[in-house]
């Protein structure tokens, strides 16, 4: 069967009236991959979903329209009561497997899909996010021998507004993984062999299951991802997303994970982490000071700047912070503000 992008577009069900562009009426750009001996590796993508019918169809189409010749795509629904099942049935001829039944949460849904996977490269894409065109071919090319984990860039967007880059949290080396999450879940892919080595996602976690999995790969197995300089996915900001609606629960899980990981560090690394934490906290308050200044909230800007200097008195000498300040002052868009869950 042809994987020509336009032929794929014609085979899929027609999009809802009035929707245009990617992934509704615009196909992915044609790709002529270099096929290695033995063929291209199968890529498995799992979409966990529950009552996300308003977004689900766009997510499904962004995966199916990639034009990747050996795609295994599964949708694992938790027994939705909205239009989700109707949408899944609309595309079921193009899915490797799907189910709609009560489960034990997002991690359980992801594990159910991955347990059925036969791909050499794995990923999961939440039902309110979507892939950019041509992503799977780009990811396959990044998995050169010796690479078992790949991450790319993500952009955020809300409603129909202009997208903006996912904010990068400052830090270097191992400290960056414990002061924030330096990779964004929708743009992460890993090998099936690494999955077997690491084990499944933790089903006792409701919010930070991806972060815990990354920490397990980074610190438990000593693997770091290969970063590729390309936007792979869009992260949708909306009121019901976990990172917005459940920040307190997410913060609790993250702090517990960081505390457990920190306890396993040797003493010298714990000292480095404490210093890096104060440095980053200074930059976080500095970013908020800039945000207040751009919003003409002078009092708030002064208070945040004072907090920044108390946390890290050497902040004015921080080349990275000064560069970020200059970039933000030149930008007409909103400044990057660090999520509260990474503030301490």
Question: How high is the pLDDT of residue 323?
Answer: 73
In a domain, 243, yes or no: yes
Question: How high is the pLDDT of residue 344?
Answer: 46
Kindly state the average pLDDT of the residues 65-84. 96
| The residue to which tokens 């290969």 are assigned | 226
143 in the same domain as 67: yes
178 in the same domain as 103: yes
Pairing, β 226-236 against β 149-157: parallel
How do residues 170-192 score in pLDDT, each as one tens digit? 556 899 899 888 899 999 999 99
330 in the same domain as 216: no
Question: How high is the pLDDT of residue 33?
Answer: 63
Length of the chain: 344
In a domain, 255, yes or no: no
Task: Kindly tell me if the per-residue pLDDT of 343 is higher than 50.
Answer: no
| CA triple 162-164-166, angle to 5 deg | 150
Task: Kindly tell me if the per-residue pLDDT of 131 is higher than 70.
Answer: yes
In a domain, 260, yes or no: no
Q: How far apart are the C-alpha atoms of 227 and 152, rounded to whole Å?
A: 6
Kindly state the average pLDDT of the residues 63-89. 97
> pLDDT above 70 covers what percent of the chain?
86
79 in the same domain as 188: yes
Kindly state the average pLDDT of the residues 142-164. 88
In a domain, 138, yes or no: yes
pLDDT confidence of 127, banded at 50, 70, 90? Answer: very high
> pLDDT above 90 covers what percent of the chain?
67
Mention every residue, 6+ apart, whose C-beta is less than 8 A from residue 122: 43, 44, 45, 46, 114, 189, 190, 191, 192, 195
- Domain of residue 280, residue span: 265-342
Domain finish residue from 248, 283, 312: 248
Question: How high is the pLDDT of residue 319?
Answer: 78
Count of the separate structural domains present in the chain: 2
Question: How high is the pLDDT of residue 2?
Answer: 56
242 in the same domain as 284: no
Question: How high is the pLDDT of residue 157?
Answer: 81
Cα dihedral 271→151→121→78 (10° resolution) = 90
Domain finish residue from 198, 214, 248: 248
Beta strands in the chain (DSSP E): 43-49, 71-77, 97-100, 121-124, 130-131, 149-157, 164-165, 188-191, 226-236
61 in the same domain as 32: yes
Whole-number mean pLDDT of the chain?
A: 88
333 in the same domain as 294: yes
Task: Kindly tell me if the per-residue pLDDT of 247 is higher than 90.
Answer: no
* Closest to 218 in 3D by CA, of 192, 246, 183: 183
285 in the same domain as 244: no
Kindly state the average pLDDT of the residues 129-133. 96
323 in the same domain as 225: no
How do residues 153-162 score in pLDDT, each as one tens digit? 999 887 767 7
234 in the same domain as 302: no
Highest mean pLDDT, choosing among 27-41, 47-61, 323-337: 47-61
181 in the same domain as 93: yes
Kindly state the average pLDDT of the residues 294-319. 90
In a domain, 228, yes or no: yes
286 in the same domain as 161: no
In a domain, 44, yes or no: yes
Question: How high is the pLDDT of residue 167?
Answer: 67
Q: Give the CATH number of the domain where residue 133 resides.
A: 3.90.550.10
Higher pLDDT, 18 or 334: 18
* Closest to 285 in 3D by CA, of 330, 340, 329: 340
Q: Which two tokens stand for residue 344?
A: 């301490």
> Among the residues of 52-128, which ranges form H helices?
53-64, 84-90, 106-115
Domain finish residue from 216, 248, 280: 248
In a domain, 256, yes or no: no
pLDDT confidence of 16, banded at 50, 70, 90? Answer: very high
**Among the listed ranges 34-43, 87-96, 209-218, 274-283, which one has the minimum average pLDDT value?**
34-43
In a domain, 61, yes or no: yes
Question: How high is the pLDDT of residue 338?
Answer: 45
Task: Kindly tell me if the per-residue pLDDT of 324 is higher than 80.
Answer: no
């Amino acid at each position: 069967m042809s994987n020509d992008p336009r032929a794929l577009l014609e085979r899929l069900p027609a999009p809802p009236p009035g929707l245009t562009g990617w992934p509704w009426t615009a196909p992915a750009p044609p790709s002529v991959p270099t096929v290695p001996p033995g063929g291209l590796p199968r890529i498995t993508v799992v979409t966990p979903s529950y009552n996300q019918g308003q977004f689900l169809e766009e997510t499904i189409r962004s995966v199916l329209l990639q034009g990747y010749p050996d795609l295994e795509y599964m949708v694992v629904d938790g027994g939705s009561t909205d239009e989700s099942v109707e949408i899944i049935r609309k595309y079921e001829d193009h899915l490797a497997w799907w189910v709609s039944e009560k489960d034990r949460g997002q991690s359980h849904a992801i594990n159910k899909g991955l347990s059925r996977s036969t791909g050499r490269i794995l990923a999961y894409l939440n039902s309110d996010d979507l892939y950019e065109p041509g992503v799977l071919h780009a990811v396959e090319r990044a998995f050169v021998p010796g690479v078992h984990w790949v991450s790319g860039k993500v952009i955020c967007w809300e409603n129909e507004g202009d997208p903006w880059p996912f904010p990068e949290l400052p830090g270097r080396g191992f400290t960056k993984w414990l002061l924030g999450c330096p990779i964004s879940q929708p743009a992460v892919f890993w090998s099936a062999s690494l999955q077997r080595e690491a084990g499944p996602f933790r089903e006792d976690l409701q919010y930070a299951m991806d972060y815990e999995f990354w920490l397990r790969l980074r610190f438990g197995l000593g693997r770091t991802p290969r970063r590729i300089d390309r936007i792979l996915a869009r992260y949708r900001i909306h009121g019901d997303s976990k990172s917005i609606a459940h920040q307190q629960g997410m913060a609790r899980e993250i702090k517990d994970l960081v505390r457990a990981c920190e306890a396993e560090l040797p003493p010298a690394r714990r000292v480095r982490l404490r210093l890096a934490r104060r440095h980053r906290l200074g930059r976080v308050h500095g970013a908020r000071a800039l945000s207040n200044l751009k919003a003409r909230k002078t009092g708030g800007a002064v208070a945040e700047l004072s907090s920044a200097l108390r946390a890290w008195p050497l902040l004015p000498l921080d080349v990275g912070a000064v560069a970020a300040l200059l970039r933000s002052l030149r930008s007409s868009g909103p400044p990057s503000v660090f999520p509260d869950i990474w503030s301490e």
